[in-house]
Structure 1
Amino acid sequence: MVLNNGAVRGLTILVTFPDTPSTVTQADVTAMLNGPSYRANGNASSVFEYFQTMSTGRLGFTNDVVGPFR
């Protein structure tokens, strides 16, 4: 089944490892996935905006971001 319209909700789980510290926060990832006018780190849009554009406004893809968990 291919869903190309409507509202789709994803889940992003952030994971940390004891030997690899991360400076990326939950807020950073939430902005990258769901934010309006997201332009950080060389991106042209957020993931939400990308799917809105590619579907000509028919697909609203958002993500719940949880974590980080070790």
Structure 2
Amino acid sequence: PVHTEFIFIDDGTRSECGSEIEFRTRFERAIAGESFSLQNTTINCRHSSQAYSTNDSVLVVILVIEGGLETIKT
């Protein structure tokens, strides 16, 4: 699949190994957890005044650039 959405996060921290771990862990759990889902609303062709919703799961892809051993562990 083609990935068209990316999230870049920078808190301005420099030269502090591991400062991102707590945030990244909470963020990953929030978007991958069962409580988070995207809701699509689709119009029914036969009854254009009615709509129904379906929940799609959110795929999480993690790309690590210049991560150390601690990045792999977390």
- Same fold flag (TM > 0.5): no
Greater Cα radius of gyration, structure 1 or 2: 2
What TM-score do you get using the length of structure 2 for normalisation? Answer: 0.36
More strand by share: 1
